[in-house]
Amino acid sequence: MMIRDVKDMVKMYKLLIRFSIRSRMQYRFNFWTGSFIAAFIAFMEFALLAVILSRFGTIQGWSIAESAYLYSVLTLSKSIYRTFASDVHHLEQYLVSGNLDGLLLRPLPVLLVLMTQNVSIRFGELLLGFGMLAYSLGILAGKGQIELWSAIPLTLLISLNGALLLFGIALATAATGFWLTRISMLQNLTEDATHTAIRYPLTIFPGWLKGVLTIGLPVAFVNYMPALYIVRGEAGPWILALSAAASAAVVGAGALLWRTGMSRYQSTGS
């Protein structure tokens, strides 16, 4: 592919994203209500963890500030991934209705077109994520456990890396839809259940579940593993490199599965 082709593609991608955001903003009230409620839901989920921590102090040695750190990195990563790839998660609707056929006609790779559909910046969840992060880093810096000048940029980097990793898992799961069509059950396992698990320190889980979350579906590299270096100082900087490698491997596997699936795609809609 020529450099000029890539430039054209990026230009087209930006244009489609702008159209997508503009179309969402036609219903401003709906947009802001949705953003507020999404943030409220995320907050209530964190409140559950906070209540447990406030009663028992720590979870296997992880304080409320450290747990908030895990939660905020997950929230930020998930918000970024869902902002830019919301409809990768919703591929099943396209497969069942046959609407994917329409996307095949666009002058861009199908995945890229899919990623321009329903782009919506998740203000509420981002605000909540940054709020919890500020709270967590503030307390940890106050105790002298971290240095803010290094912790802030590293946290932003691992959040982006986490978004990539979550995207990779979502892509691989969505790609199975080319064979299975219905994927919501699988998403329940690979996305919902794993995201719920990594709100908590990995040490509380039994060995088999730790293995699943570290090797099978390596979501532990979204927040827990990097936090061992940034917040706890229990691992070296190599763990950040390992987290980046995990993301690259997962995205690579997802892309491969997607490409294979696309070559077998048969329209199911009417």
Site for other proteins, rule CB under 8 A: 30, 33-34, 37-38, 40-41, 44-45, 47-48, 51-52, 54-56, 59-60, 182, 185, 188-189, 192-193, 196-197, 200-201, 203-206, 209
Instruction: Considering the complex, state which of residue 83 and residue 249 has its C-beta at the smaller distance from other proteins.
Output: 83
Least distance to other proteins from the beta carbon of 9, Å? 34
Amino acid at the residue 97: S
Measured from the CB of residue 258, what is the shortest distance to other proteins in angstroms? 22
Shortest distance in whole angstroms from residue 101 CB to other proteins = 23
Minimum CB distance to other proteins smaller for 263 or for 270: 270
* Smallest distance from other proteins to CB 263, Å: 26
Long-range contacts made by residues 53-59, C-beta under 8 angstroms, separation at least 24?
59/200, 59/201, 59/204
Question: In the chain, which ranges are continuous DSSP H helix?
Answer: 3-24, 28-56, 64-89, 91-97, 100-104, 110-114, 123-142, 148-175, 177-180, 184-187, 194-197, 207-211, 224-230, 238-263
Distance (Å, whole) CA 178 – CA 174: 8
Please identify, using beta-carbon distances, which residue of 52 and 110 lies nearer to other proteins.
52
Q: With respect to other proteins, which residue has the nearer C-beta, 167 or 205?
A: 205
Question: Residue 105 CB, nearest distance to other proteins (Å)?
Answer: 27
Nearer to other proteins, 16 or 172 (CB): 172
> Could you tell me which residues come within 8 angstroms of residue 53 by beta carbon, excluding any fewer than 6 positions away?
59, 63, 64, 67
Q: How far is the CB of 57 from other proteins (least distance, A)?
A: 9
CB atoms within 10 A of CB 191: 20
Q: Which of 7, 137, 141 is nearest to 72 (CA)?
A: 137
Look up residue 100 and give its two tokens.
């994917």
Under a CB-based contact definition with an 8 Å cutoff, are residues 129 and 158 in contact?
no
- Please say which residue, 100 or 197, places its beta carbon nearer to other proteins: 197
